[in-house]
Amino acid sequence: MHLARLILQRLALGIGTLFLVSVLIFLATQALPGNAARAILGNTATPEKVAVLSRQLGLDKPVARQYAIWVSHFVSGNLGRSFVGMDQPVSQVIGQPLYNSTVLVVLAALVSVPLSIGLGTYAALRRDGRLDRAVTTSTVALAALPEFVIGILVIIILSTEVLHLFPPIARPNPSVPVYRQLDELVLPVLTLTLAVFPYITRMMRAYTIEILESEYISMARLKGLPERIVIWRHAVPNAIVPAVQGTAMQLAWLAGGIVAVEYVFAYPGIGSALISAITERDIPTIQAITLILASVYVLLNLAADIITILVTPRLRTGLR
């Protein structure tokens, strides 16, 4: 009862955030006066032309009504039609890129999350040891670098100047399943991993250290429990719980990070699609992609909230 209410509450909050996100995107792209039509036609267009296009796009209707139409189409799966190309449906324009990007992000998450949770925990357990110092120093530096810089360094080291292991650009053949051409994906996945793992590692290290210094860990040791049980039963589970939230934030961040990384590797994902849409002023596509990327954040956060509630006795059972 208590649990269901708590989860429903989070769900409602998530939906509310999503609604506001869509309003923000709509306002930024379509409702600012004259923007959409002028943006499409460019600054040289005559006012008459702008007016005609505005009417075609439905920009002459009241803003609230425009939004209602837009959002109801969106919810029913109709993402609108692209302005460019052969007037394709947006869903078709972004379908394949969305799939490609999902593959990229999921692979990066599968590599980086276990790696950094393990590394962070290990560094905390061997605090001030050689590995810990190496980890803390290298993560400060790596966390500082923009992801496109990491990408280019990766190319320089692994595919052009130093070694020639992998192709510098990643253009998987769309007719062949991605898992058959993994070598194409190695460099972009590596780049995303290098960009995300410093944060999760540092966070996990900090949480583990905090827990290791807690009184109940001292107590566990004073009870004479073997170190193995102290760490795996008492320390690590308690450190992972707060790390869930932070990890979700980082994975959501990946959604933004892919834009520059895909561009570096010319990878045909949703980031590249967004960039060409912006170049071509293809507003329906821009709206669709930004809304999808923002939803990723909302959904991941929602998932993290619910997981946290489920694994924390204090939240799950309520007070006394």
Partner 1 sequence: MTSPSQTEQVDPEQAETPDLPVARRQREWLQTPKAAWKLRRTKIGVAFLVFVFVIAIFGPMLAPHSPTEFVGASFQLPSRVATLGTDYLGRDVLSRVLYGGRTTLVLALVATFIGEFFGLLLGLIAAYSRRGVDETVMRLLDVVLAFPAIIFALLIVSVAGPNPWLIVVAVGFTHIPAVARVSRGVALRIVNLDFVKAAEALGMPKLSIMWSEILPNITTPVLVDSGIRFAYSISIIAALSFLGFGLQPPLADWGLMINENRIGISAQPYALLAPILMIAIATIGANLVSDGMSRAIIGLDRKMANQ
Partner 2 sequence: MLTVEGLSIELEGSGVDIADEVAFTIRGGEILGLVGESGSGKTTVATALLMFERHGAVLGGGRITIDGRDVFAMDAKTLRSIRGRLISYVPQDPSMSLNPALRIRTQLMEILVTHGFGTSNEEREARVAEMMDEVLLPSGRDFLRRYPHQLSGGQQQRVAVGMAFACRPAMIVLDEPTTGLDVTTQAHVLRTVKDLTRMYGVAALYVTHDLAVVANVADHIAVMYAGRIVEVGPTETLFRSASHPYTRRLLISVPDLSGKHTLRGTLGRAPGPGHRPQGCRFAPRCKLAISECRAEFPPDDGPDENHRVRCWRWREVVAEPADTEFASRLRTEDTDGEGAVITVADVRCSYGDNDVIHGINMSVDSGRCLALVGESGSGKTTLARCISGIHSGRIAGSIKLDGHELKRNSRERPKSDRQAIQYIFQSPYASLNPRKSIAQILSLPLKMFFELNRNERETRMIEALERVSLDGSLLSVYPDQLSGGERQRVAIARALLAEPRVLICDEVTSSLDVLVQASIVELLSKLVRDLGVAMIFVTHHLPLVRSLADTVAVMNRGELVEYGCVDEVLDNPQAEYTKNLLADTPTVDIVDVP
Q: Which helix (H) or strand (E) holds 280?
A: none
**DSSP secondary structure, 83-110, as one string:** SSTTT-BHHHHHHHHHHHHHHHHHHHHH
Residue 73 makes contact with partner 2 by CB under 8 A = no
Nearest approach in angstroms of CB 214 to partner 2 is 7
In the list partner 2, partner 1, none, the entry touching 259 (Cβ below 5 to 8 angstroms by class) is partner 1
**Among the listed residues 305, 274, 278, the one whose alpha carbon sits nearest the alpha carbon of residue 292:** 274
Q: Pick the piece of the chain touching partner 1 (CB under 8 A) from 84-92, 107-115, 214-222, 257-265.
A: 257-265
Work out which of 6, 51, 152, 217 binds partner 1, going by CB under 8 A: 152
Which single residue is written with the structure tokens 């505005």?
Answer: 54
Interaction pattern, residues 164-193, with partner 1; x per rule: CB under 8 A: ----x-------------------------
Token pair in block for residue 58: 């439905």
Residue 293 makes contact with partner 1 by CB under 8 A = yes
Q: Chain-centre distance of CA 204, in angstroms?
A: 19
Residue 140 makes contact with partner 1 by CB under 8 A = yes
Work out which of 27, 137, 182, 216 binds partner 2, going by CB under 8 A: 216
Residue 308 makes contact with partner 1 by CB under 8 A = no
Work out which of 56, 78, 92, 160 binds partner 1, going by CB under 8 A: 160
Helices 283-311 and 63-75 cross at an angle (nearest 10°) of: 70
Q: Pick the piece of the chain touching partner 1 (CB under 8 A) from 3-11, 64-72, 134-142, 175-183.
A: 134-142
In the list partner 1, partner 2, none, the entry touching 155 (Cβ below 5 to 8 angstroms by class) is partner 1
Distance CA 210, CA 70 (A): 48
Q: What is the DSSP letter of 233?
A: I
Q: Tell me the residue ranges of DSSP E strands in the chain.
A: none
Distance CA 68, CA 128 (A): 57
Residue 253 makes contact with partner 1 by CB under 8 A = yes
**Among the listed residues 84, 264, 243, the one whose alpha carbon sits nearest the alpha carbon of residue 158:** 264
In the list partner 2, partner 1, none, the entry touching 160 (Cβ below 5 to 8 angstroms by class) is partner 1
In the list partner 1, partner 2, none, the entry touching 233 (Cβ below 5 to 8 angstroms by class) is partner 2
3-state SS class at 48 = helix
Residue 205 makes contact with partner 2 by CB under 8 A = no
Q: Going by C-beta distance under 8 Å and a sequence separation of 6 or more, which residues neighbour residue 283?
A: 29, 30, 36, 39, 40, 83
Residue 224 makes contact with partner 2 by CB under 8 A = yes
For residue 195, CA distances in Å to 198, 200, 247, 287 come to 7, 10, 13, 26
In the list partner 2, partner 1, none, the entry touching 221 (Cβ below 5 to 8 angstroms by class) is partner 2
- Sign (positive/negative) of CA torsion 285, 288, 292, 298? positive
Of residues 25-54, those binding partner 1 (CB under 8 A): 25, 28-29, 32, 35, 39
Summarize as ranges the residues that interact with partner 1 (CB under 8 A).
13, 16-17, 20-21, 24-25, 28-29, 32, 35, 39, 137, 140-141, 143-149, 152-153, 155-156, 160-161, 168, 252-253, 255-257, 259-260, 263, 274-275, 277-279, 281, 283, 286, 290, 293-295, 297-298
Summarize as ranges the residues that interact with partner 2 (CB under 8 A).
213-216, 218-226, 229, 233-234, 237-238, 241, 311-314, 317, 319-320
